[in-house]
Structure 1
Amino acid sequence: MRIGVFSDSYRPYVSGVVLSIETFSRELAHLGHEIFVFAPEYPQVKGEREPHIFRFPSFHTPINPEFYIALPFLWAARKYASGIGLDLVHVHSPFMLGQVGVNLARYLNIPAVFTYHTLYDQYMHYAPLAGQITKKGMVKYASNFCNRCDLVITPTEVIKEMIQGHGVKKPVIAIPTGVYPERFQAGDPGFLNKNFGISQDTKVLLFVGRIGKEKNLSFLLRAFALIAEQERDAVLVLVGSGPEETVLHYSAMDLGIGERVIFTGKLPPETVAGAYRSADIFVFPSVTETQGLVLVEAMAAGLPVVAKAAYGSLAMVEDGITGFLCQGEEDEFAEKTLSILSDPELKLRMSESALRKAEELAADKMALRLESAYLALINGNHDKLWQMGEEG
């Protein structure tokens, strides 16, 4: 198959969406398929020759200067695609380039697939025109876009059921983004000690992700303040960057935990495995994830997880087995984290279960499932698509 991938974010920008595209593209290529990416242009790659990648002229946003918005020129996409012979279009956004991708699919009379990566209504604080549209309006917009496509992929069953409840009528199949467990198991367990001076005897609680409002990190700081009162040698390590970093730094100081909260900034992908392997527990307060790929990465490194019970974490974390899911407030989050820190046998059992869960979500297995969905769609086998959706 020749697959056209359209995304409003792509490398060198770093995000869960970009990682998902790269992971599936790599595995589909191993299966013999060709991937053609349509993405925004970034200054770091301007002028570079990138085989199978078409870059649209773009501009950066004032809210997030690292993120560039493509100018959605359909004529340019048609011109580039004219000599490719695409069999299918797969879009990863309902906005600029997602619209271009679906329109191109209709022009070429080929199927269009959409992956519902994001709870778009929960990220409206990043949209310049957010004040002119309600959250309810955004949900309706995304649902209408789903119904323009021939197949919708969601990262989890939870999100599949949610969007079907919002009125999505097209086939929906849950296919998580897979990971490479061996990469995270091979991380350097002395990474945080060597690079940030954290003693290997210290209990490390780790968060990896964007340092933004949607990650609910102020909740995590308050929970850690409770943990720190009882676990004197525990530290909280936040890996990532984002607009809330300065605010959270001052919040940590106000809570009296400033010296025990370490902000590493953004780490290169090849070193993040070391951060996971240097930690004791992965803590995840976000309530806006459709999957939370970092949850799977953490489990692949053998970390038990303590997470807020919402969307992605409900699907990825088995409560009491690979970690704990918290329905309540900071005191519950702190209590469950402390219960793992104080019980080595529980920690070991959860670690072993986490490793098994990550193996189930290996990248090659997830790519085979996506390939099967693609082939059913191209061959017009809609009964199989609905069956795959029901199987979960």
Structure 2
Amino acid sequence: MKIGIFTDSYLPYTSGVVRSIQTFSEELTSNGHEVFIFAPSYRDCRKENRVFRFSSIPSPTNRDFTLAMPFSIRLRPTIKKLNLDLIHVHSPFLLGRLGARYARRLGIPLVFTFHTLYDQYVHYVPFAQSLTKDLAQRISRGFCNHCDLVIVPTAAVEKYLHEIGVKASIRVVPTGIKVMNYQSGDRDWLRCRFGLPEGEKVLLFVGRLGQEKNINFLMECFARINREMKNTRLVLVGGGPEEEELKNKAKELGIAGQVTFTGVLPPSDVVNCYAGADIFVFSSVTETQGIVIGEAKAAGLPVVAVAAFGVSEMVDDGIDGFLTELEPLQFIEKITLLLKNDDLYEKMSRNARNNAENLSTANCTAKLINCYSHVIERRACEV
């Protein structure tokens, strides 16, 4: 198959969407399929085969993110030459809409992966947030209903789309994880690189430092844990618009010396962070999947997370981690239990590593290929 992927974010930008596209593209290519990516340009992006870049401008709310200008005189002849079998879009906006338009022109199937609960991100809009939330749902519903197939990473997101009125066909296909990569990290790298004292128990978060990740909750819980257990440390891996505010928050809470901000790290170093940590902690309530939870489990880390949307399907509560309400005492209790009970910790660590196999890239890509084949066959029957 020849697959055209249209996305509003791609490398070198880092996010769950980018990771999903990169993971599936590599696996599809290794299975003999041809993948062509249409994405924004970035200041330092390098030329890649089969990646078509659009001129872009920096986003006013996130300078690391760029907004593609969805037109190019080279696009039409490029698309015509590729002879695509289907177009797979990863956003209902700029390049996603452009991809949808070309799918209609070419008479080929349009597949859309619904990665983001857009109505949960209205805090980035400085006005009329209730109106914006309704608009986000209407855009999501309308775009989905013009697609041949909508892919979601978890059943919770499928339920959400049905609730807001999506009638299009929906299939659950999680983003896969290269499990072996996360089992070979350097356990000493994190302590050596950031000078962490020996004997500290490391609580790890990996993700964008944005308001939607609810990291304030995480830090407030950690402050209370650290008062009782001085040999604990919170490590936040990633960057984002809230970084400076979170550093100030750590000072206000009196835990600045026990919170480490690593900034954005290359994937190999993120693997080493997982290897050097003890527990993965996650308090976001807006995730459609939470790929980082799967990565942490592959590295053998028990997870303590707030039970919300897709996260609830990534943790087997009481088996490879704990799910809690958005309530500090519950969250703190489960972390403390794992820190104090070595037998329980070891059991959950083994289970986490074993359960991560269910999210292997091979298994998830096989599901995606099946979706592609089905939608192409269905379109052929309609012609």
TM-score bracket for the superposition, by shorter chain length? over 0.9
Mapping of residues 282-301 of structure 1, within 5 Å: 282-301=280-299
Q: How big is the shift at 1:258?
A: 1.3
Q: How big is the shift at 1:76?
A: 4.5
Residue number in structure 1 paired with 2:375: 377
The 3 A distance-change label for structure 1 pair 132 and 222 is closer
Q: What TM-score do the two structures reach when normalised by structure 2?
A: 0.96
Distance 2:149 2:276 in 1: 40
Report if the CA contact (8 A) 1:206-1:279 is conserved: yes
The 3 A distance-change label for structure 1 pair 326 and 29 is same
User: What secondary structure, in the 3-state scheme, does the structure 2 residue paired with 1:43 have?
Assistant: coil
The 3 A distance-change label for structure 1 pair 129 and 86 is farther
Residue number in structure 2 paired with 1:174: 172
User: What secondary structure, in the 3-state scheme, does the structure 1 residue paired with 2:91 have?
Assistant: coil
Residue number in structure 2 paired with 1:22: 22
User: What secondary structure, in the 3-state scheme, does the structure 2 residue paired with 1:63 have?
Assistant: coil
The 3 A distance-change label for structure 1 pair 219 and 128 is closer
Distance 1:133 1:98 in 2: 23
The 3 A distance-change label for structure 1 pair 49 and 213 is closer
Distance 2:231 2:89 in 1: 46
1:110 to 108, 111, 114: 108
Q: RMSD between aligned alpha carbons?
A: 1.7
CA-to-aligned-CA distance 1:136-168 (integer Å, 9 cap, x gap): 221121011000100000011111111111111
Distance 2:197 2:188 in 1: 9
Mapping of residues 244-255 of structure 1, within 5 Å: 244-255=242-253
Residue number in structure 2 paired with 1:11: 11
The 3 A distance-change label for structure 1 pair 214 and 49 is closer
Residue number in structure 2 paired with 1:358: 356
Distance 2:347 2:145 in 1: 43
Query: What amino acid sits opposite 1:322 in the alignment?
Result: D
2:347 to 337, 346, 349: 349
User: What secondary structure, in the 3-state scheme, does the structure 2 residue paired with 1:36 have?
Assistant: strand
CA-to-aligned-CA distance 1:168-223 (integer Å, 9 cap, x gap): 11111111101111111100111111101113411000000011100001000110
State, as a whole percentage, how many aligned pairs show the same letter: 49
Distance 2:47 2:320 in 1: 44
Residue number in structure 2 paired with 1:57: 55
Distance 1:354 1:50 in 2: 36
Residue number in structure 2 paired with 1:389: none
Distance 1:253 1:128 in 2: 27
Q: How big is the shift at 1:331?
A: 1.4
Distance 2:39 2:265 in 1: 23
Residue number in structure 2 paired with 1:218: 216
Distance 2:92 2:98 in 1: 9
Query: What amino acid sits opposite 1:22 in the alignment?
Result: Q
Report if the CA contact (8 A) 1:322-1:353 is conserved: yes
Q: Which portions of structure 1, spanning 4 or more consecutive aligned residues, are displaced by more than 6 angstroms?
A: none
Aligned residues: 381
The 3 A distance-change label for structure 1 pair 76 and 203 is same
The 3 A distance-change label for structure 1 pair 225 and 76 is same
Distance 2:63 2:103 in 1: 31
Q: Residue 316 in 1 paired to residue 311 in 2? A: no
Q: How big is the shift at 1:129?
A: 7.9
Distance 1:31 1:340 in 2: 41
Distance 1:230 1:116 in 2: 42
